[in-house]
Structure 1
């Protein structure tokens, strides 16, 4: 019994210092604590225990914490909050508090005196005077935004900003993150809202000369961007150039000029099959092609089908030039001025002709200047048994066009020869039907002739 009394006495002696620390406002962390009250348009208004030295922004962050986040990841510091319970569930789809909190007019009541602070200036401009250190017993009130202005264009944080009486255009641009490089500050568009007519009046402001123009609630400021600011024009060279990459050029520069910048072309470059195209035009949508490609092929007209085939074969945005002539004449003939976004691709010279389709040995055949298509068919092992008797196409590497094979067909290195297979189509049914129709016609003519005798 005596031992139990001694243990109880020791426990009481150990708890007395802790109680004294609690009454003195000191938590187990060893840091002094203060009490502040937060009310108004915050997610969790109520009384909060804060560490001595905490600022206004820290208190608002505590009061605006989502309850779901608090449950998943509690604050590591000791918390003895007594927040007022929420009457409605939290809307996690949209944070109305951050959208409509009046951060520019936060009121702190201390010892009966009221002070107002602009937290947006602290967050956007780093003005530490607008983020005061809290004291024990402070009462913080956050109002709802009443009026807005908007700042758009070439600024760091475009969007809506809470309006405060006396704001100037320069003030609001600064609160919007300041102007970005290339902003045209001498042509700022100021749209003035007329409350009586519910319409806007417009004026242009030169901020470099005068940025003290006072604005009103509902006004709109647009900071335009100077399109010519550090504008650059570039052309990309790829393939068998000495130095590939993107090259900047000036107005009036030509293909030969940029080839010289690249160090020239390699000996194994295929000059006849070079591709010069504009990437901007290539990336633009072809609405007619998109329409046709979505149709059922059986519903296409002959013209639409031909258009579809051509679009699939040829490169959109390609220039019609003779690249080999530009190189051979050193830019004296066939040269062309460059446009921004041009791309020049110079393939590797193959010195081969590709033979495919219904031949015995399809594949590459060495190119021989002056030979016709029959030479390449023979070199590929001749025709296969199931080839189509009439027909055969040359696919030109330089254009992508399909050309019917004949004696005058000129073949270049890199071209392809395609021999189609027999489709199983027979002319006999057509011949038979034609004979039957002709016989019927003759019978009708003879009958009419006999009746007229």
Structure 2
């Protein structure tokens, strides 16, 4: 038996015929899960924004897109730049973040937020993945959840001759980098005295 195509359909692959749906379903850890009505492709970030944006517990590094053709891709929305275009018939699913897969880095770093955990990850590498330190501070604090015993806090020295940066982190650890300290009151007073003294010398001359 032969399948004959009308001349108008010649050359069309049946598996790629347009999908009739005009909806894009955005579900999971977004503030307003919904089916969006689309008449043209839109960027993935725009689709998420239209669904109320990401919830605080969203795993922005593992946003799954099920394309209407049947294949699936995972996107990291914490990276800059465009991700992909969403078309009618696609599905977007934002998973809830599993704290056990990440280390949280905050404070004076280039890109505060979550860093994906991998075996053998140390403090120095975690800071590098978070954009590096943007302060001249040499001490960081690591807070670790020890269950019923309460949090364990480690204060690490990252000076070049110290091995504090080699400290191995664990999943769900929180690394905090202090910002450069503001000038203390005593420092300001000393600076004021020096400036006033210089002005007096200039006036005397």
Tell me, yes or no, if structure 1 residue 258 matches structure 2 residue 199: yes
1:114 matched to which residue of 2? 72
> For 1:104-141, what per-residue CA distance to the aligned partner results, in whole angstroms no more than 9, with x for missing partners?
22111234433222212x2xxx2x37x22224432111
Q: Does the CA contact (< 8 Å) of 1:36 and 1:140 recur in 2?
A: yes
Deviation at 1:212, TM superposition (A): 7.8
Contact in 1 for aligned 2:27/2:92 (Cα 8 Å):
yes
Distance of aligned partners of 1:205 and 1:264 in 2 relative to their CA distance in 1, 3 Å threshold: closer
Q: 2:27 aligns with which of 39, 51, 69?
A: 39
Match of 1:63 among 42, 51, 57: 51
Which residue pairs with 2:141 in the alignment?
Answer: 189
What RMSD in Å do the two structures reach over aligned CA positions? 4.2
Runs of 5+ unmatched residues, structure 1 = 1-23, 26-32, 66-96, 237-245, 248-254, 266-329, 331-453
Secondary structure in 2 matching 1:43: coil
Q: Is the 8 A contact 2:37 2:88 kept in 1?
A: no
Q: Structure 2 CA distance, aligned partners of 1:171 and 1:36?
A: 38
Q: Cα offset for 1:38?
A: 1.0
CA distance in 1, matches of 2:35, 2:73: 19
Q: Check conservation: 1:193, 1:216, Cα contact below 8 A.
A: no
CA pair 106-172 structure 1, distance change in 2 beyond 3 A: farther
**Is this contact kept in 2: 1:105–1:143, CA < 8 A?**
yes
Aligned with 1:200: secondary structure? strand
Higher relative contact order (CA 8 A, sep 6+): 2
Rounded to whole Å, the distance in 1 between the matches of 2:191 and 2:157 is 34
Larger helix fraction of residues: 1
Distance 1:46 1:154, change over 3 A: closer
SS at structure 1 position matched to 2:133: coil
Using the TM superposition, give the Cα deviation of residue 190 of structure 1 relative to its aligned residue in structure 2, in angstroms: 2.7
After superposition, the C-alpha distances for 1:317-353 in whole angstroms (9 at most, x for unaligned) are xxxxxxxxxxxxx9xxxxxxxxxxxxxxxxxxxxxxx
TM-score by length of 1: 0.31
How far residue 54 of structure 1 moved from its aligned partner, in angstroms, is: 2.2
Map 1:168-247; keep pairs closer than 5 Å: 169=123, 173=127, 178-180=132-134, 182-184=135-137, 186-195=138-147, 197-200=149-152, 202=154, 204=156, 206=158, 215-225=169-179, 227=181, 234-235=191-192, 247=195
Superposed counterparts of 1:129-168, under 5 Å: 131-147=83-99, 149-155=103-109, 161-162=113-114, 164-166=116-118
Task: Label 1:175 to 1:165 Cα distance change in 2 as closer, same or farther (>3 A).
Answer: closer
Q: Quick check: 1:38–1:140 contact (8 Å CA) kept in 2?
A: yes
Q: How is 1:319-398 mapped onto 2 (pairs within 5 angstroms)? A: none
Residue 64 of structure 1: how far off its partner (Å)? 0.7
CA distance in 2, matches of 1:152, 1:203: 15
Any conservation in 1 of the 2:143–2:151 contact (CA below 8 Å)? no
Aligned pair count reads 176
Q: How far, CA to CA, are the matches of 1:175 and 1:101 in structure 2?
A: 19
Q: How far, CA to CA, are the matches of 2:154 and 2:61 in structure 1?
A: 27
Where do residues 407-422 of structure 1 align in structure 2 (5 Å cutoff)?
A: none
- TM-superposed CA distance for 1:191, in Å, is 3.2
* Secondary structure of the corresponding residue to residue 116 of structure 2: coil
Q: How does 1:74-93 map to 2 (within 5 A)?
A: none
- Once residues 107 and 139 of structure 2 are traced to their aligned partners in structure 1, the CA distance between those partners, rounded to angstroms, is 12
Is there any run of 5+ residues in structure 2 with no aligned partner, and where? 1-17
- Tell me the distance in 2 between the aligned counterparts of 1:207 and 1:39: 46
